[in-house]
Amino acid sequence: MEVEVIKGLKFHKKQDVAIVGAGMTAFKRRMLETGKELSYYAVKQALEEAGLDIKDVEMVVLGSAPDAFDGISLKEEYLLEGAGGCDRPYMRYFVGGGTAVFAPIAGYWHVASGLADVCLVVCEEKMSCCQPHPQSAFKYIWDPILDRPLKPNLIWIFALEMRRYMHVNNVKHEDIALVSVKNKANALDHPCSHVAGKITVEDVLNSEPMALPVRRLDVSPPSDGAAALVMVAPHIARQLTDDPVWVTGVGWNLDTTHWTNRDLYFPRYTAEAARMAYRMAHITDPRKQIDVAEPYDPFDYKELHHMEGLGLAKKGEAPILTKEGVTARDGDLPVCPSGGLLGVGNPISAAMGVKVCEIYWQLAYRAGKRQVAKEVTTGICQAWGDLMQIGTVMVMSNKR
Amino acid sequence: MIDKIVDPEKLRHFPPGGGKIELYWLYTSGKAGNEFFRKLREGKFIAARCKKCGRRYFPPRIFCEFDFSETEFFEISGEGCVEAFTIAKLDLNENPMEEIIALIKLEGTDGRILHLIGEAKDVCIGMKVKPVLKKVDEMTGTISDIKYFKPV
């Protein structure tokens, strides 16, 4: 057994883990297909890219966020057939939005532990069926005695967090709006995008107010979609491709559920999750060592917030990097080259398609029109979820 | 022994009326289901055959869950055979009811469905049954478009 002990982190690994294929459906309101059918499309694409058959898959990991979206309790069993979970070890993992990166982390430990040499990771979310609005499902994540009687709305909480971030770091809304402008434009090159477009900062600032400062174009849409990823052991990777992408670090961390007791200006959950992943990946200076990033961007300020949490920018520095074009696709540190959730869409767990799958495609030089200009070796992706408290991080590299 | 159901609200202070999850969902029958229920309106039954392994799915699906190949739809009679049954005497809220519920294997397929048995004095395993459909204007695109199965 390969045993690596890193300071402060017990880390026993049986084998390295490579990603050899990914797939995703278009993100949109898909009223015709069931979640199973969407999952099938994504899996089929990922297996084709990997050059594998479903019969080669040893274990399956499913990621899907609250049952309340699909309106099916225990939706993992409902989705099983589309995820290829039949007749093999199959398990669902979910940590709200954080699932987008947590499900692949679970896939990682299936392979790294030596339990499986080929593990398929499938994420599915169908939000369009939830009425009167998918946001309604979030009404029931709050404490029924202390929060719910005030009828909280997730957008309120994000507005509070955005305000706090702007206040502490002295950031203007127009600087934050640049993220939305960038990501929606990047998404024009993504075949799966839901809300891509050429917009201006003024468009964002003049869009419909939701809970100020949050306006319509600061927010990603609820989408339906599925994504899939094939993770394999080194000896399988060698048979399939000359250029696999290696998972070099994973991390996850939860902050307190009492979100009111946190200072919202800085995402500690992301910083701690990143610290774990960086230790594993031997990254000491993320700003220099990371070439491309896909932080979780359900709101434009969240991309900045999470960049700072990941140590890709100092506190308050992310808006400056954005303004200077550093985070553009042809910049020194491309951020959300996929178009992110703001541009491609936000099917909660299936956001894996624009986070983990995108970093894989970028590092494998398979991102087509979205390929970043600079040479890339190491990439990072991150998601955020549960009651705005979990950070999930994965570091990948095309060098083992 | 048997646990007696009491009114928990009388035991201590709870916010009055409890809480509800007020959501509803628009469910789709999917690509395969769409085709199935459209045909059902014409009084026809379809199943799906895997193009690779030949497994015959009922209700139909657009893909085979075992080898991830596409399927093709084909017509079947809709008749089947009872493989197991129960006579339900209490509903979910423990109110009296009486209904025969059966697991029916559809002829010419490898699939089974759960459905009601009607117009039957008796039921047994191996009994041949055929579907009784609702009127087209009463159909809603769910499995209840088949009213029940009755003995052949």
Query: Are residues A289 and A378 in contact, defined by beta-carbon separation less than 8 angstroms?
Result: yes
Q: Could you give the maximum distance between any two Cα atoms of chain A, in Å?
A: 58
Average pLDDT of span B129-150: 96
d(C-alpha B73, C-alpha B71), whole Å: 7
Burial of A368 (0-12, 13-18, 19+ CB in 10 A): exposed
Query: Are residues B150 and B128 in contact, defined by beta-carbon separation less than 8 angstroms?
Result: no
Burial of A31 (0-12, 13-18, 19+ CB in 10 A): exposed
pLDDT by residue (tens digit) across B98-121?
A: 999 999 999 999 999 999 999 998
Q: Is A131 on the interface with B (CB under 8 A)?
A: yes
Average pLDDT of span A237-253: 96
Determine, yes or no, domain membership for B37. yes
pLDDT of A4 > 60? The answer is no
d(C-alpha A116, C-alpha A122), whole Å: 16
pLDDT given for residue A342 in this prediction:
98
Q: Is A137 on the interface with B (CB under 8 A)?
A: yes
Q: What is the ipTM of this complex?
A: 0.88
Average pLDDT of span A278-293: 96
**Average pLDDT score over chain A:** 94
Question: Looking at CA atoms only, how far is residue B69 from chain A in angstroms?
Answer: 9
Angle made by CA atoms A340, A343, A346, in degrees to the nearest 5 = 70
Q: How confident is the model at residue A65 (pLDDT cuts 50, 70, 90)?
A: confident
pLDDT given for residue B6 in this prediction:
67
Determine, yes or no, domain membership for B5. no
pLDDT by residue (tens digit) across A121-132?
A: 999 999 988 988
The arrangement of secondary structure in A2-132+220-397, i.e. its CATH architecture, is 3-Layer(aba) Sandwich (3.40)
CB B24 to CB A131 under 8 A?
A: yes
Query: Are residues A391 and A382 in contact, defined by beta-carbon separation less than 8 angstroms?
Result: yes
pLDDT given for residue A154 in this prediction:
87
Chain B contact set for A148 (CB, 8 A): 19
What would the two tokens of residue B56 be? 């015959």
Structural domain that includes position B50: 28-151
d(C-alpha B124, C-alpha B100), whole Å: 11
Chain A contact set for B19 (CB, 8 A): 144, 148
Q: How many domains does the structure of chain B reveal?
A: 1
Give me the half-sphere count of Cα atoms (radius 13 Å) on the Cβ side of residue B54: 1
Q: Is A127 on the interface with B (CB under 8 A)?
A: no
Inter-chain Cβ pairs, chain A and chain B, closer than 8 A: 71
Burial of B75 (0-12, 13-18, 19+ CB in 10 A): exposed
Determine, yes or no, domain membership for B78. yes
Q: How confident is the model at residue B5 (pLDDT cuts 50, 70, 90)?
A: low
Determine, yes or no, domain membership for B41. yes
What would the two tokens of residue A286 be? 């993320």
pLDDT by residue (tens digit) across A8-28?
A: 566 778 999 999 999 999 999
Q: How confident is the model at residue A144 (pLDDT cuts 50, 70, 90)?
A: confident
Through-space distance between the first and last CA atoms of chain A, rounded to whole angstroms: 18
Query: Are residues A377 and A245 in contact, defined by beta-carbon separation less than 8 angstroms?
Result: no
Q: Coil, strand or helix: which one is B9?
A: helix
pLDDT given for residue A70 in this prediction:
87
Comparing CB atoms, the residue among A32, A54, A68 nearest residue B23 is A68
Determine, yes or no, domain membership for B76. yes
Query: Are residues A340 and A360 in contact, defined by beta-carbon separation less than 8 angstroms?
Result: no
Percent of chain B beyond pLDDT 90? 80
Comparing CB atoms, the residue among A55, A70, A82 nearest residue B67 is A55
Q: How confident is the model at residue B27 (pLDDT cuts 50, 70, 90)?
A: very high
Query: Are residues B59 and B50 in contact, defined by beta-carbon separation less than 8 angstroms?
Result: no
Q: Is A37 on the interface with B (CB under 8 A)?
A: yes
Query: Are residues A356 and A101 in contact, defined by beta-carbon separation less than 8 angstroms?
Result: yes
* Residues of B at the A interface, defined by Cβ within 8 angstroms: 15, 19, 21-34, 61-63, 65-68
pLDDT given for residue A49 in this prediction:
97
Q: How confident is the model at residue A1 (pLDDT cuts 50, 70, 90)?
A: very low
Q: Is A228 on the interface with B (CB under 8 A)?
A: no
pLDDT by residue (tens digit) across A305-332?
A: 999 999 999 999 999 999 999 999 999 9
CB B32 to CB A37 under 8 A?
A: yes
Percent of chain A beyond pLDDT 70? 98
Average pLDDT of span A61-82: 92
Q: Is A53 on the interface with B (CB under 8 A)?
A: yes
Average pLDDT of span A295-312: 98
pLDDT by residue (tens digit) across A171-201?
A: 999 999 999 999 999 999 999 999 999 999 9
